[in-house]
Amino acid sequence: MGDEEAKVYMISALVEHKPGVLYSISNMFRRRGFNIESISVGEAEQPDIARMTITIKGDEALVEQVVKQLKKLICVIKVSILDPNSTVARELALIKVSTPDARARSDVINYTEIFKGHVVDVSHESLTIEITGDTDKINAFIELMKPFGIREIARTGIAALPRGMKSTKME
DSSP labels, 59-96: -HHHHHHHHHHHHHSTTEEEEEEEPGGGEEEEEEEEEE
The pLDDT score that the predictor gives to residue 168 is 58
The pLDDT score that the predictor gives to residue 81 is 93
- CA triple 2-4-63, angle to 5 deg: 95
Strand, coil or helix: 20: coil
What parts of the chain have a pLDDT lower than 50? 1-3
Q: How far apart are the two ends of the chain, measured CA to CA in Å?
A: 34
pTM score, two decimals?
A: 0.81
All structural domains of the chain: 7-82 (3.30.70.260), 88-159 (3.30.70.1150)
Return d(Cα 88, Cα 102) in angstroms, integer.
Answer: 37
Kindly compute the dihedral angle of the four CA atoms of residues 96, 103, 117, 152, in this order, to the nearest 10 degrees. -10
Contacts 24+ apart (CB under 8 A), 105-110: 107/148, 108/145, 108/148
- pLDDT tens by residue, 65-79: 999 999 999 999 999
Strand, coil or helix: 141: helix
Task: Give Cα separations from 24 to 40, 72, 104 (angstroms).
Answer: 15, 11, 45
- CA triple 112-56-131, angle to 5 deg: 10
The pLDDT score that the predictor gives to residue 110 is 97
Query: What are the percentages of helix, strand and coil residues in the chain, rounded to 5?
Result: 30, 40, 30
The pLDDT score that the predictor gives to residue 84 is 87
DSSP state of 99: -
The pLDDT score that the predictor gives to residue 1 is 42
